[in-house]
């Protein structure tokens, strides 16, 4: 958290323990410590277990706010450690349409701190996410109808202990949803004039957008 640490003082970086998901009252969260920065801390971002602090005119500082994990306890997998968030629904198996966009999510936790999670599609790395939530957007390729796509992941803590997660497999099916044409202007019964442009939307799928000249299509 970036905030002033007192009246007439610079903004610094404070660490709170908010590991209790039931606790949503800031006043009752467990204060850990404050790191004073030489400038005015404007923003902080976590990556690979360290904090990167934008410190106004004093540049950027890297804060090692928690010692590296030397306990040797590996990262733990939650139930359904790898899921796909498709149209707002968490999915763990089944079929998926070519071209479909979704969010691939890893659900893991560590006794000290996670460093990052690598995510793979059919063995090819697609992201190394260095901060919670550990996830990435993904689009099923258009040339995989009839094939299976398998997602896996590797979670690492800041001590180098690793945990394999997945697999999460889907059968890729073709897009059978036809385009939808919707004429917004003119509506039935409207009065139009000679130079009024028609307004037509062609919706192939809600997550595809294209713009042929003359008409707005999506
Ligand atoms: Ca650990
Ligand atoms: Ca992330």
Residue 49 CA to ligand 1 center (angstroms) comes to: 12
Q: Flag whether 204 is in a domain.
A: yes
Residues 147 and 95 in one domain: yes
How many Å lie between the centroid of ligand 1 and the Cα of residue 44?
A: 23
Residues 192 and 119 in one domain: no
pLDDT score recorded for residue 26: 60
Domain hosting residue 112, numbered range: 76-173
CB 65 within 8 A of CB 15: yes
User: One digit per residue, pLDDT tens: the chain, 218 residues?
Assistant: 666 665 556 788 888 887 776 655 666 668 888 999 898 899 999 999 999 999 989 999 999 999 999 998 888 877 789 999 999 999 999 999 999 999 999 999 999 999 999 999 999 999 999 999 999 999 999 989 999 999 999 999 999 999 999 999 999 999 887 777 776 767 777 777 777 766 666 665 544 443 443 444 33
Residues 30 and 56 in one domain: yes
> 53 and 92 share a domain?
no
Q: From ligand 1's centre to the CA of 31, what distance in Å?
A: 22
Q: Do 80 and 52 have their domain in common? A: no
Please tell me the total number of residues recorded for the chain in this structure.
218
Residue 183 lies in a domain: yes
Q: How many domains does the chain have?
A: 3
Same-domain check for residues 163 and 185: no
Question: What is the model's pTM?
Answer: 0.75
69 in any annotated domain: no
Which structure tokens are listed for 72? Answer: 């040797």
Say how many Å lie between the CA of residue 206 and the centre of ligand 1: 41
Question: 19: number of CA atoms within 13 Å, CB side?
Answer: 9
What pLDDT was estimated at residue 97?
94
In order of 98, 101, 138, 143, 207, the CA distances from 218 in angstroms are 18, 16, 20, 22, 9
pLDDT at 179: 77
């Amino acid at each position: 958290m970036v905030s002033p640490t007192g009246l007439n003082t610079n903004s610094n970086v404070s660490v709170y323990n908010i590991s209790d998901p039931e606790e949503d009252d800031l006043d009752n969260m467990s204060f850990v410590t404050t790191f004073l920065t030489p400038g005015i801390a404007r923003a902080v971002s976590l990556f690979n277990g360290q904090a990167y602090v934008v410190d106004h005119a004093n540049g950027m500082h890297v804060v090692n706010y928690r010692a590296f994990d030397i306990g040797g306890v590996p990262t733990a997998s939650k139930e359904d450690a790898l899921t796909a968030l498709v149209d707002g629904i968490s999915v763990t198996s089944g079929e998926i349409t070519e071209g479909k966009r979704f969010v691939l999510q890893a659900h893991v936790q560590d006794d000290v701190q996670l460093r990052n999670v690598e995510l793979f599609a059919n063995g090819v790395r697609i992201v190394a996410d260095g901060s919670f939530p550990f996830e990435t957007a993904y689009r099923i390729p258009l040339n995989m109808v009839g094939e299976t796509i398998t997602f896996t992941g590797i979670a690492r803590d800041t001590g180098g202990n690793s945990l394999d997660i997945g697999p999460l497999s889907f059968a890729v099916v073709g897009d059978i949803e036809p385009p939808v044409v919707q004429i917004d202007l003119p509506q039935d019964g409207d009065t139009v004039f000679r130079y009024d442009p028609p307004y037509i939307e062609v919706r192939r799928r809600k997550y595809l957008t294209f713009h042929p000249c003359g008409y707005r299509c999506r």
